[in-house]
Amino acid sequence: MNLTALNQKFGIDQQILFSTGEGGLPVAIITNKYATAVISLYGAQVLSYIPAGEKELLWMSSKSLFKEGKAIRGGIPLCFPWFGKHLTNPSLPQHGFARLSAWEVAETSTMGNGASQIHLQLHQSADTKKLWPYDFSAVVTVTVGETLELKLKVLNTDEEDFTYSDALHTYLNISHINNISIEGLYKIPYYDGFGDTPIVQQEEVLCITKEENRRYVEHAANCIVTDSGYERKIRVSKTGSKVTVVWNPWIETTKTMSDMTADGYQTFICVEAANSYDDVVTLKPFEEFTISTTIALEQS
Ligand code: TA6
């Protein structure tokens, strides 16, 4: 559907506008009394969320590509139907095809409290079936209000059971990596990088002083990121997920990433709700499952 048709069918006056974003990719721009947000239809990826009168909560790489076939580096990329490398075929795209697909707008609405909602959908296609052989219906719902909520609902429309992993790979915008600490992970076991022995976190709060790629298991609670530079706390809460990933590539790994500047790692931390490890999702035909994450400024 072109932009004119999208605006006619799904635009909401003064609130939801479809427009051309960077690289010519279509975006929904949402503005209401609570916040402004930008959502890319390519990848169903939230690119920006700025609560009224506040700084941006999501980080976007200044070198990100905005190009079909490439992942957008920042915001909230959607990893589905697998998180990380494909288990049996590492030549398939890392983190699945959801972030590389054009999603359709299914519905937009204004909620009773004035928050705005957009629903984006993706089904199997000849292209997705080459990568993952199942029929499915995925719906992403983004609610832009006092908080930002992102939900991914997956329905099995196949005749067979299927299993998937996923992540809502949130890049939080921070003043500097040296200025933050993360609460909510004390005594939680995690796999360090791709290790296979869980380690129990001993630090009451986590400060990032090197490359981190921690995959916390048995963790459904909130994380609070305190940023002394921006004098704010960001709460990341979730439902339908027992795995939390904390990732920052630090200096050396950043050098290997062509879509990030050398100092890019200094201004984001990823805190991700995931279904992975023992928490992958298996659905029988007609069953559905929802994972969600909510990003909010903690009110002091
Ligand atoms: O969530 C952490 C992670 O899985 C890391 O291992 C790292 O590769 C990161 O995601 C980014 O992946 P990407 O494919 O977007 O470069």
Q: Is 216 in the pocket of ligand 1 (CB under 6 A)?
A: no
Per the model's pLDDT, the better-predicted residue between 1 and 30 turns out to be 30
**Residue 224 Cα, ligand 1 centroid: separation in angstroms?**
21
Nearest CA to ligand 1 atom 9: 247
| Helix locations, 72-185, DSSP H | 126-131
Query: Could you say which of 95, 169, 212, 219 is catalytic?
Result: 169
Percentage helix, strand, coil, to 5, in the chain?
10, 45, 45
pTM: 0.97
Ligand 1 nearest-atom number relative to CA 193:
6
* pLDDT band at residue 196 using 50, 70 and 90 as cut-offs: confident
Smallest CA-to-CA distance from 192 within 217, 209, 226, 169 is with 217
Query: Is the CB of 86 inside a 6 Å radius of any atom of ligand 1?
Result: no
CA of 84 to the centre of ligand 1 (A): 7
Bigger pLDDT: 300 or 174?
174
Query: Could you read off the pLDDT of 53-65 as tens digits, one per residue?
Result: 999 999 999 999 9
Regarding the beta carbon of 214 and ligand 1, being less than 6 Å apart is answered: no
Distance 52 CA to ligand 1 centre (A): 30
Nearest to 73 by CA among 295, 222, 247, 290: 247
pLDDT at 194 over 80: no
What span, in angstroms and rounded, lies between the C-alpha atoms of 158 and 278?
23
Q: Provide the residue ranges of all domains of the chain, joining segments of one domain with +.
A: 3-299
- 188 CB-side CA count, 13 A: 26
Class of domain 3-299: mainly beta
**Hey, whose CA ends up nearest to atom 2 of ligand 1?**
247
Question: 193 CB under 6 A from ligand 1?
Answer: no
Do the beta carbons of residue 172 and residue 201 sit within 8 Å? no
Ligand 1 atom nearest 73 alpha carbon: 15
Average of pLDDT values for 33-43? Answer: 98
Q: What is the model's pLDDT at position 300?
A: 65
Please give the average per-residue pLDDT across 19-34, as a whole number: 98
Query: How buried is residue 210: exposed, middle or buried, by Cβ count under 10 Å (0-12/13-18/19+)?
Result: exposed
Q: How far apart are CA 237 and CA 293, in angstroms?
A: 6
193: confidence class by pLDDT, cuts 50, 70, 90? confident
Q: What is the mean pLDDT of residues 185-200?
A: 92
What pLDDT shows up at residue 1?
85
Summarize pLDDT for 237-264 with one digit per residue, the tens: 999 999 999 999 999 999 999 999 999 9
- Whose Cα sits closest to atom 8 in ligand 1? 84
Tell me the DSSP string of 21-59. Answer: -GGG-EEEEEE-SSEEEEEETBTTEEEEEEETTS--SB-
pLDDT tens, position by position, 139-157? 999 999 999 999 999 999 9
Cα of 60 from ligand 1 centre, angstroms = 15
